[in-house]
Amino acid sequence: MDFWFSIKKFFSACLNPIGFPIFLLAIGLLLIFLASRAPRRTLSSRLSRLRELSGDCGLFLSFLGMIVLFLSSVYPVASRLTRSLEQAYQPLEERNGRPQISVNPEFVVVLAGGQRNSPGRPVLSRLALVPLARVVGGVDLWKNFPDSMLVFTGNPAETDAMRAVAVRLGVPSDRIIEETKSRCTADHPVKLKAIIGDAPFLLVTSAVHMPRSASLFRHLGLNFTPAPVDFAIWTASEKDQSDVSFDSSPKSSNLVLTNAALHEYGGLLWSWLHGELDTSSR
């Protein structure tokens, strides 16, 4: 595992809306504990001031951790973070159940998102919910364009699970291609370019993941049509947005939304710093 890949994973972990607040709380409580202990000997004025400062810092970090955890777990925050990403690309327009695009795709590309491989696990349980939704969405699109190839991109364990699910859903095995060298989202367009070239294709991934994915693919000049699936927050109009109830009670489901959104914002920032994103207006 190379240095920058490790740094990227550490950066991603710092954006976790559960792990980061708990880390702040742990450091804060430790500082409060150390500051509250009675000293064994008389401290100098400088050390006394440092002791008081560590206690104040501990209180601040503990309070900050609780605030971050609370905000990450309430719907108004989670939904707005998620919606801002999901609204960047709309689902393909359909007429009579068929997607409307100007040029028929030669490939339907589905990006991986994790797997749950273990001996004896049922085929449809080998993928987590998010990648399962991507594969189901990709298979549904492929059935409208059966002359195209269905491409899964990710590590070997992921693409193997994706293939197994697609075959179970009715896709012939000889219509499936696996790209197995990608470790992360930025790898997908690089590794796929040799397979797809300039051919038109549908890019299938979760709606919250599409802004980063599309920008990475566009940066390399690939000829794709975004086909987002797996919408977590859906509002068809501004009125629908205003009608969403302001539920401020903390829920674990909101933490999942916040985590996914922050992961994408962090990925966008990382890719922008590394010059991997398309910066032209689309």
Q: In a structure prediction context, what are the per-residue pLDDT tens digits for the chain, which is 282 residues long?
A: 466 666 766 666 777 888 889 999 999 999 998 888 777 677 677 777 888 898 899 999 999 999 999 999 999 999 999 999 999 999 999 888 888 898 899 999 999 988 777 777 888 888 989 999 999 999 999 999 999 999 999 999 999 999 999 999 999 999 999 999 998 899 999 999 999 999 999 999 999 999 999 999 999 999 999 999 999 987 655 445 544 555 678 999 999 999 999 999 999 998 998 888 887 755
Domain spans in the chain, listed from the N-terminal domain onward: 7-72, 78-232+255-273
Give 166-215 pLDDT, tens digit per residue: 999 999 999 999 999 998 899 999 999 999 999 999 999 999 999 999 99
Whole-number pLDDT of residue 241: 53
Contact 151, 107 (CB under 8 A): yes
CATH number of 78-232+255-273: 3.30.420.40, 3.40.50.620, 3.90.1300.10, 1.10.150.20?
A: 3.40.50.620
**Could you tell me the CA-to-CA distances from 27 to 16, 56, 62, 66, 160 in Å, in that order?**
16, 12, 8, 13, 42
Q: How many CB atoms lie within 10 A of CB 107?
A: 22
- Nearest CA to 215 out of 185, 191, 178, 194 is that of 185
CA atoms within 13 A on the CB side of 80: 10
Packed helices 45-72 and 252-273: angle between N→C axes, nearest 10 degrees: 110
Reading across the β-sheet that carries 149-153, which strands appear in turn? 176-179, 149-153, 107-111, 201-204, 224-226
Whole-number pLDDT of residue 74: 94
Whole-number pLDDT of residue 107: 97
Contact 101, 143 (CB under 8 A): no
Whole-number pLDDT of residue 243: 44
> Would you give the distance in Å from CA 235 to the centre of its chain?
20
Q: What's the rounded Cα separation, in Å, for the pair 245 and 76?
A: 9
